[in-house]
Amino acid sequence: MKKISITAQLKKPQTDTDSGTICYQIVHNRKTPLFPTGIRISLNEWNPHTPLRTDTRLRHEITLGITMSHTIAEHLKNNALSSTISIIDNSTRRKDESLLGYIQHHVHHLAASHRNGTATKYRSLKNSLANFSAGKTISINDLDRSIILRYNEFLLSRNLCRNTTSFYMRLLRAILHKAYHENRLESDPTDWFHCVYTGYDRTKKRAIAITLLRRIASLNLSRQPKLALAKDIYIFSFYARGMAFVDIANLKKTDISGRYIMYHRKKTGQPIKIELLDKMKQIINRYSCPESEFIFPFLTNGGNHYKQYRSAISRYNRLLKQIGAMVHATEPLTSYTVRHTWATIARDHNVPLKIISECLGHHCEQTTRIYLASIQNSEVDSASRKIVSLI
C-alpha cells in the first residue's frame, strides 16, 4: 500500500493578520489536499510538535482532530482519496456547534492576545444572546435572517438606545462573518443584517465653560484625598491637551523625556508628544511613588492593568460627579468633558483645525471636524432659543 502521511499545517491568510487556521494535510498518491479545522491561533503560538494552548475547548478540538486523522488513515487503506475527502468535509463542518460556545472561544483567544477591551465587548454580546435564547442552545448553522430580526426585536424591547442595539448587531455580524470564513457557518450572513440598524448615531458632546474649569481648579480638597486626585487628573488632562483617562492611567515614568511626555494613544496607537508644563510637573510630583513604574496611582507593577483601568475610570467618573455638584455644574462632569472642553476653547481661540487635530491625536482632520461640529450644535440651539424668545 502507498504511504499515507497526515500532518498539521497552519494556513496563513493573505491579509496582514497575527493569526492563522490549523489545517490537516493528507499526502497520498502524490496528492496533498488541505482541510481547515476552523481552529484559529496566533502565529507566535504555532508549533505543530508541541501542545498549543491549555484552554479546554482547543484541547478537545485537537483531540478530535487526532482521532479523525486515524480514521482517515484507516479509510484510505481500502477506499479512494475522493471518497475519504467527502468524509473529512462532513466531519470538519461541525454543524451543531453552539453559537455561545464559539463566541466564548473567541473571547478566550482575544484575552490571550491581550485584547481585553475587545474581549469584554464580545463577552457582553454572549451575555445578551444568552438572555435572548433563555437557556436554549442556538447552533451556528440554525441562524438565519429571521433569528437576527427576532434578536433585534429583543434588544428593542429592552428600551436600549439605537447605538447600543447597533453595537450588538455589529458584533454579531462580525463574529458570524468570522465563522463563515472558517467554514463553520454554511450560509453567507451578509444579507441577514440589511434590515437592522448597524450605524452610529452622533451623540452630543458636552464642553464646560472656562469659568467653571477655573472653579474646579481652585477647589481646596486637601482633606478629601480621593476627590483631590480626581480634580488633579481632570486639570492635568486639560493641561495635556485633553489627554484621555486611559492614556493618563497608563503613563509611565519612562514616557517622560526631558521637557516632554511622549506616548502612544491607546485608542489609535497615534504617537503624541506633549510639552511638560510646570503646572503638570507639580501634579505629577504630588503623586510620585518611587516603587511604581507608572506616573499616577491607578495601575500597579505586574497587575491586571485592564481590570485596574476599568475599576479606576468607574471610580474617577463617580468622583467627578461629586465635584460637579460642588461647583454647581449644569451638565455632568465625565472623563471626556475635559477633552471636549480643550477642543472647544482651542477652536474659540482660532487655533487652526490641523493643530487641534494633531493635539487630540486624530488620524485625520475630518475626524476633528465631526468632533467639533457635534459640540457646536449646542451653540446653534442656544442662538435659536434667543431668537425665538424675542417673539
Burial of 173 (0-12, 13-18, 19+ CB in 10 A): middle
pLDDT at 265: 87
pLDDT tens string 192-222: 999 899 988 776 667 888 899 999 999 999 9
pLDDT at 54: 45
Burial of 131 (0-12, 13-18, 19+ CB in 10 A): exposed
Q: Rounded CA gap, 76 and 71, in Å?
A: 9
Burial 304-319 (b: 16+ CB within 10 A, else e): ebbeebeebbeebbeb
Residue 158 three-state SS: coil
The DSSP-derived string for 25-83 is: EEEBTTB--EEEEEEEEEGGG--TTS-----HHHHHHHHHHHHHHHHHHHHHHHS-HHH
Q: Which of 31, 62, 33 is nearest to 46 (CA)?
A: 62
Walking along the chain (391 residues) 10 residues at a time, the average pLDDT comes out as 67 62 71 64 65 50 58 60 51 65 88 85 94 89 92 94 94 94 88 91 77 94 96 95 93 94 87 90 94 94 88 96 94 88 83 79 71 58 50 42
The DSSP-derived string for 67-87 is: HHHHHHHHHHHHS-HHHHHHH
pLDDT at 390: 47
Residue 356 three-state SS: helix
Question: What's the order of all strands across the beta sheet hosting 5-11?
Answer: 5-11, 19-27, 34-42
Q: Please answer whether residues 337 and 327 qualify as being in contact, where contact means their C-beta atoms are separated by less than 8 angstroms.
A: no
**Residues with Cβ < 8 Å from 99, sequence gap 6 or more?**
129, 138, 139, 140, 143
pLDDT at 374: 58
Residue 262 three-state SS: strand
For cell 450644535, the residue is 377
Cell of 54: 491549555
**Residues with Cβ < 8 Å from 143, sequence gap 6 or more?**
99, 176, 185, 187, 189, 192
- Own/partner contacts of 148-157, CB < 8 Å, gap of 24 or more, are 148/172, 148/189, 148/192, 148/193, 148/196, 149/195, 149/196, 152/196, 152/197, 155/128
Burial 358-372 (b: 16+ CB within 10 A, else e): bbbbbeeeeebeebb
What secondary structure, in 3-state letters, does 192-215 show? HHCCCCCCCCCCCCCCCCHHHHHH
Q: Rounded CA gap, 297 and 115, in Å?
A: 23
